[in-house]
Structure formats: structure tokens, C-alpha cells
Amino acid sequence: MARAVSVQIDAAAIGAYAAGLPAPAETPKLDPATHFGAGDREANAAFVVCLDAINFGSGWWPTIRKRPGHSGYFTIAAGLTERFREGGPWPAAELAALDTASVAAVLGQDPDHPLMADFAASLRDVGAHVGDDHGGSFVALADAAVGSAVALVDILAEWESFADTSAYQGREVPFFKRAQIAAADLDRAGVVAFDDLDRLTAFADNLVPHVLRIDGVLRLAPPLTAAIEAG
């Protein structure tokens, strides 16, 4: 944080801000309207890992074909849910060979949209790792963490599909947003019970800095503030 040029944390504001936050709410379960959860443990694990492997690309949301009343994320989630309900999860070997057109058809998008190729590449990577490293079983992947969310994040962070890092001033900065969400979602879906979820971060979601900026915890350089205000 000390290297940051355009954003600073107002350390003096943190104490009062934290004290004023509401008590933690009970963690919600996955939304049955847009998240598959009616399968066995293997199917539910496969859905979570596949969905979180393609939980990126929000900058493209204005350009995708959204379902009525659905955000970009929930449009993608609903398409994947329908695939799992109608055809079950992809076997690891089939997932490892998934092409862009197939992904686009499942998600109801144009196959030439740039995100579809990226989604297909991410899902192929998942299929390859589940097949090669875990005998084709998504439950085996979850169980390989031996009850630790942090251990699961460490496993997924080695996969290209979950390696969320960004270079900043010559330093590689790890975020691992989607690996952490996958661990939390596997717990929420009842696939596995982790005893160290409190060690995960709040996830590097783009709404977090927005809220912290509005609430006065983040101070932005004037040019950046102007750019945001200009849309």
C-alpha cells in the first residue's frame, strides 16, 4: 500500500469505521434461482468450481446479452445452472476439451465475444487439473484441502484459471479472489466444511474500493476521482 500512487488508506478513519459496522450477518446460502445446488456432492462441487473459474470479466458486462432482471454475473450463473440441471456436470475429460462455441451456447452469448474464448480456456484448465491431479473428481479436489479453506486456495492458486495476480511497479501482487470465493462457495454449498474461513480476505471485488471510497476510508488522487466521476 505504501507504493500506491493514486489511492491511500486514511488510517485514522479505520477505528471508528470498523466500530460502526453492523454485526456480521449469517452467511447466505447459494441462490437456488441462479445457482445449481440440487445435485450430489460431486455435481455441486463441479458447479462451484466451474462457476468461480469464469467469475471474471465484469468490465465486459455492458456488452454481453443479459437476461431480463439479471446482472452480468447472474446471467452467466443462470446459464451454467441450466446446463447442470439439464445435462449434469461436464466430465473432467470433456471439460478439458471444451471449445468456445460450446461455452457461448451454454451461456447464451455470441461465440465471437472475447469473454467466451477466455471462459473456455479457464474451464479447459479446470478440466485438465481435475483430471490429472484429482482423478477426475471435484470432490477429491475439495477433500484434498483436508478441511482448510486456505489449503484449497493454495491448490487453486497454482492453476492458470485461478491465478489472479497483477504486476505493480515491478512486483507481482496476489489477489486470488476467485480461489477464495471457490473455497467459500464450496462451504456454502455444503460440499465441505472448512474450519478456517475467517482467514480468507473480503475478496478483491470492485465494489469494495467503491464503498470504502464513499465511506471515507480510501482517499483518491484528484485526477482519479475526476475520472471516476466522469464515468
Lowest mean pLDDT among 119-123, 134-138, 225-229: 225-229
pLDDT of residue 1: 82
Q: Which residues are catalytic?
A: 205
How high is the pLDDT of residue 31? 81
| Residue from 145, 139, 122 nearest 44 by CA | 139
Task: Give residue for cell 445435462.
Answer: 87
pLDDT confidence bin for 161, thresholds 50/70/90? very high
For residue 108, which amino acid is it?
G
Question: What is the C-alpha separation between 194 and 145, in angstroms, rounded?
Answer: 9
Q: What whole-number distance in Å separates Cα of residue 211 and Cα of residue 189? A: 27
Query: Shortest CA distance to 184 belongs to which of 208, 220, 148?
Result: 148
pLDDT value at position 28?
A: 76
Q: Closest by alpha carbon to 161, among 176, 146, 139?
A: 176
Name the pLDDT band for 202 (thresholds 50, 70, 90): confident
CA pair distance 142, 53, nearest whole angstrom:
14
Is residue 186 within 8 A of residue 42, CB to CB? The reply is no
| pLDDT at residue 29 in the model | 77
Please state the rounded mean pLDDT for residues 68-72: 94
Sign, Cα dihedral of 57, 63, 65, 68: positive
More confident residue, 35 or 28: 35
- Mean pLDDT over 136-140 rounds to 98
Q: Supply the angle between the helices 72-87 and 100-107 in degrees, to the nearest 10.
A: 100
Phi first, then psi, for residue 167 (nearest 5°) are -80, 130
The mean pLDDT of 115-131, rounded to a whole number, is 98
pLDDT band at 157 (very low <50, low <70, confident <90, very high): very high
